[in-house]
């Protein structure tokens, strides 16, 4: 039987990408796709390497030829890369189309709204950029502070100091953001020169009495009961991740109880989008439409501060798709 993939080599290519060794990733992935031309995971790593090393024409050609092969779960990042290439090549109309398709595929990723909004802003389409940002905020795309920062930038460009002030305040309320803090100082000075009063931002101190202070014990008991009832109505969110065959099998057998992911902006967004545990974790072995997958309950998410990794603690397996346990395992080359 012809060999279809090599998990060990794929892990080496993925590691090169994670460590930002783009030249190494390009060399390894080029050799890999020559040996395994039908493996979609290898093709994606090669496309990503071509893009990161600056071979945009080659990456675009491969993306367009393979786009229909990728599953719906991975169309978002694929279309984002294609949008960036078209943007960098000056084809803004095609870039906009790809960004909008990527947003349709993954409405909770803020980067597509931000990059499309920035592209429109640079092209002088401020109103269109504001519309895209409002859509991202309405969809609660993460990280939300990136959208608020762009919203503040657009409002400041339009001369709407009050709206810009509120947007930048949303950012600094969420995270440490020196640029947003500097923008607030700038807007306060500009408002003083213009002679206008900015909106008052109220903050609740821990020492201030809460609205519920002074309520009788019966009201407190009622509130506690309401909270208990709300806990029973928890609706689990969902998170999707791609995984190598050997780890897929370990999860399927129950041997692997924790899945690890690097603490990065990308994975922080994915974890936050899934919501509070327990949530459903869709684990997919491959990027094709017929790739084996399973859905498992993620009981809790912890952060290992020494390894800077998310620990996704796995519980009951709910569903398995596209998996024939009677089929022989795919052949893989031995390590060289």
Residue 188 within any structural domain of the chain: no
pLDDT 10s digits, 206-232:
444 444 444 444 443 454 444 444 445
Domain that holds residue 267: 238-321
Structure-block tokens of residue 315: 């519980």
Its pTM stands at: 0.76
For the cut 70, the answer to whether the pLDDT of residue 159 exceeds it is: yes
Q: Provide the pLDDT for residue 79.
A: 95
Residue 207 within any structural domain of the chain: no
Residue 257 within any structural domain of the chain: yes
Q: Provide the pLDDT for residue 167.
A: 95
Q: Single out the residue in 69, 102, 120 at which a domain terminates.
A: 69
Q: How many domains does the chain have?
A: 2
Give me the CATH number covering residue 268.
2.30.130.30
**CA–CA dist 216, 221 (Å, integer):** 9
Pairing of strands 258-262, 279-284: unpaired
pLDDT 10s digits, 92-124:
999 999 999 999 998 989 999 999 999 999 999
Q: Provide the pLDDT for residue 325.
A: 64
Least confident segment among 43-47, 96-100, 248-252, 327-331: 327-331
Q: Provide the pLDDT for residue 200.
A: 76
Residue 289: CB atoms within 10 Å: 14
Residue 292 within any structural domain of the chain: yes
Question: What is the 3-state secondary structure of the chain?
Answer: CCCCCCHHHHHHHHHHHHCCCHHHHHHHHHHHHHHCCCCHHHHHHHHHHHHHHCCHHHHHHHHHHHHHHECHHHHHHHHHHHHHHHHHCCCHHHHHHHHHHHHHHCCCEHHHHHHHHHHHHHCCCHHHHHHHHHHHHHCCCECHHHHHHHHHHHHHHCCCHHHHHHHHHHHHHHCCCHHHHHHHHHHHHHHHHHCCCCCCCCCCCCCCCCCCCCCCHHHHHHHHHHHHHHHCCCCCCEEEEECCHHHHHHHHHCCCCEEEEECCHHHHHHHHHHCCCCEEEEEECCCECCCCEEEEEEEEEEEECCCCEEEEEEEEEEEEECCCCCCCCCCCCCCC
Strand partners, 288: 70
Instruction: Please report, rounded to a whole number, the percentage of residues in the chain having pLDDT higher than 70.
Output: 85
Pairing of strands 309-321, 238-242: unpaired
For the cut 50, the answer to whether the pLDDT of residue 334 exceeds it is: no
Q: Single out the residue in 38, 69, 100 at which a domain terminates.
A: 69
Q: Provide the pLDDT for residue 211.
A: 46
Residue 81 within any structural domain of the chain: no
Whole-number average pLDDT of the chain? 86
**CA–CA dist 139, 104 (Å, integer):** 11
Residue 96 within any structural domain of the chain: no
Residue 85 within any structural domain of the chain: no
**Which has the higher per-residue pLDDT, 152 or 272?**
152
**CA–CA dist 206, 225 (Å, integer):** 25
Residue 175 within any structural domain of the chain: no
For the cut 80, the answer to whether the pLDDT of residue 180 exceeds it is: yes
Q: Provide the pLDDT for residue 230.
A: 46
Q: Single out the residue in 23, 38, 69 at which a domain terminates.
A: 69
């Amino acid at each position: 039987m012809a060999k279809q993939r090599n998990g060990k080599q794929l892990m080496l290519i993925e590691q090169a990408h994670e460590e930002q060794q783009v030249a190494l990733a390009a060399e390894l992935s080029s050799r890999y796709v020559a040996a395994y031309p039908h493996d979609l995971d290898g093709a994606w790593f090669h496309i990503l390497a071509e893009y990161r090393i600056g071979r945009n024409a080659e990456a675009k050609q491969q993306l367009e030829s393979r786009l229909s092969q990728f599953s719906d779960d991975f169309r978002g990042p694929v279309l984002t890369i294609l949008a960036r290439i078209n943007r960098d090549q000056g084809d803004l109309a095609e870039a906009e189309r790809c960004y909008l398709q990527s947003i349709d595929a993954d409405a909770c990723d803020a980067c597509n709204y931000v990059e499309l909004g920035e592209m429109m802003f640079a092209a002088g389409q401020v109103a269109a950029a504001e519309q895209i940002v409002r859509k991202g905020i309405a969809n609660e795309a993460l990280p939300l502070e990136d959208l608020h920062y762009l919203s503040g930038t657009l409002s400041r460009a339009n001369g709407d100091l009050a709206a810009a002030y509120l947007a930048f305040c949303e950012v600094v309320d969420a995270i440490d953001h020196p640029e947003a803090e500097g923008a607030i100082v700038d807007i306060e000075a500009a408002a003083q020169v213009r002679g206008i009063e900015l909106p008052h931002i109220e903050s609740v101190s821990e020492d201030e009495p809460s609205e519920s202070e002074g309520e009788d014990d019966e009201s407190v008991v009622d509130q506690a009961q309401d909270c208990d009832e709300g806990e029973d109505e928890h609706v689990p969110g969902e998170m999707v991740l791609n995984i190598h065959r050997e780890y897929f099998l370990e999860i399927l057998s129950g041997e692997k109880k924790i899945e690890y992911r690097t603490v990065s902006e990308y994975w922080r967004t994915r974890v936050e989008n899934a919501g509070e545990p327990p949530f459903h974790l869709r684990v997919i072995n491959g990027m094709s439409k017929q790739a084996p997958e399973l859905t498992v309950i993620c009981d809790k998410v912890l952060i290992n501060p020494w390894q800077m990794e998310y620990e996704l603690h796995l519980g009951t397996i709910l569903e398995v798709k596209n998996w024939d346990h009677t089929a022989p395992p795919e052949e893989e080359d031995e390590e060289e």
